[in-house]
Amino acid sequence: MKRLKQKESSTRSDTLTFVECLRSQPKHGQYIYRIFIELIHDLFVLLTAVIVMWVPVHWVWNARQETLAAIQAERDVMKWPREDIADRLKAAQDYNAMIAASGQNMIGEVQDPFKKNGGKEKTKSEEDETYQSVLSSPTGVMGSIRIPKVSIYLPIYHGTSEEVLDRGSGHLYGTSVPVGGKSTNTVLTGHRGLTEALLFTRLDELKKGDIIYITTLGHTIGYRVEDINVVEPDDTHLYKVVPGKDLLTLMTCTPYGVNTQRLVITAHRGKIPDNIPPLEDKANDAILYGILAATIVMVLGFILAMRKNYRELVPPPWHYDGTAIPKSLLLPRFVDERGLPPMGIVAHRKRARHQGSKRRRT
């Protein structure tokens, strides 16, 4: 008898009557207000996350489009007749010989390739029909540059106009075209620090000994970084041909966001596979794909968290018609120090459905 009384008393202390549940329920307007506040907070957090992640996601998207343009150009070349490829290569080599013999008194579209064109409708490279005919293609792509260490895979276009530098790497007018050979120095330029594209943004991560690949007319050439310099915009001595050497020079703006000087990276040609590994053996840097994966995980996690919060916030329909609701079925976040739920009751749905089905059977 004593045990039965103890059991009844413990059951009463562990439960809330239907009347207590009704008293603890807030008005309908309070639910709407709280849901509205939660919604505004969650939308603000989501908007902030989208703004923060928009730039890297945009980088990944544009990098993919630039890579696809380079890949498509390489595939188009593979369809050309061998005789056509040989003729184009011979024309490019003759052009480089002319550049080396000219003394290179005029380099670039204007004094600095990153300055505006002074209001001219056409740049110098666009007016030079001979230059435009060298390594020409229906897509306008001369070749492609790949730097696996920093996830650079860009098409190379003629000249350094604003239109060119917004969608890939530009070949500096007045320098050797990218087919290699003795007494050549191919200079490629690219923007750094754009909000819509990476391009040459990570070029400052390169160190001496890093590998750069150039693909032109279906042939890939490997270069190894040998020197890194910072020069003034009007200093062009590093862009000129060095007799007997096969060089590749990359140039972009620096410091990041200031752009008052030029970062110049010089690389010398190596033989594949003797001292430079084949292109397919070089692993790509995965930072861009890591950014994309992190963004997807963050958005999915945020959606799941919002879904859980709203399930806890809005109470389910009443499942108990006058019977007691165990306190153990209430979520702790809605129970105050007296054991009463100040902002509503959240019952365990499965338990409620199970008890309801038992009552119907009886």
266 burial class (0-12, 13-18, 19+ CB within 10 angstroms)? Answer: buried
Calculated CA dihedral for residues 313, 314, 316, 321, nearest 10 degrees: 90
User: Does 75 score more than 70 pLDDT?
Assistant: yes
Is the predicted pLDDT of residue 235 greater than 80, yes or no?
yes
Residue ranges of domains in the chain: 15-79+296-362, 91-283
d(CA 8, CA 10): 5
How far, in Å, CA of 85 to CA of 217, rounded?
6
**Residue 321 pLDDT greater than 50, yes or no:** no
Q: Kindly state the percentage of the chain with pLDDT values over 70.
A: 68
36-40, 168-172, 204-208: segment of lowest average pLDDT:
36-40
Asked whether residue 7 carries a pLDDT value surpassing 80, the answer given is: no
Task: Please tell me the predicted confidence (pLDDT) of residue 54.
Answer: 73
Position 337 confidence tier, pLDDT thresholds 50, 70, 90: very low
pLDDT in tens, 293-319: 777 777 777 777 766 666 555 554 444
pLDDT for the residue numbered 123: 81
Q: What pLDDT was estimated at residue 302?
A: 72
Q: Which amino acid is at 254?
A: T
> Which pLDDT belongs to residue 182?
96
Q: Is 330 in contact with 343 (CB distance < 8 Å)?
A: no
DSSP characters over 331-355: -GGG--TTS--TT-----HHHHHHH
Whether residue 132 is predicted with pLDDT greater than 80 in this model: the reply is: yes
Mean pLDDT score, 83-105: 95
Establish whether the linkage from the previous residue to 255 is cis, with ω within 30° of 0.
Answer: yes
Q: Is the pLDDT of residue 92 over 50?
A: yes
Own/partner pairs for 359-362, CB < 8 Å, 24+ apart?
A: none
Q: How far apart are CA 164 and CA 141, in angstroms?
A: 10
DSSP code string of 164-215: HHTTSEEEPTTS--TT--TTEEEEEE---S-SS--TTGGGGG--TT-EEEEE
Residues 150 and 286: their CA atoms lie apart, in Å, by 9
Between 273 and 243, whose confidence is greater? 243
CA 153, CA 128: separation in Å to the nearest integer?
27
Least confident of 99-103, 139-143, 179-183, 284-288: 284-288
The token duo for 185 is 């120095």
Task: Give the pLDDT confidence score for residue 128 in this predicted structure.
Answer: 92
pLDDT higher than 70, residue 272: yes
Q: What is residue 116's predicted lDDT score, i.e. its pLDDT?
A: 59
Quickly state the pLDDT bin for 342 (edges 50, 70, 90): very low
CATH fold of 91-283: Sortase; Chain: A; (2.40.260)
The DSSP call for residue 318 is P
Active site residues: 191, 253
- Which pTM value belongs to this model? 0.68
pLDDT for residue 151: 87
Question: What is the predicted pLDDT for the residue at 38?
Answer: 72
Residue 341 has a pLDDT of 46
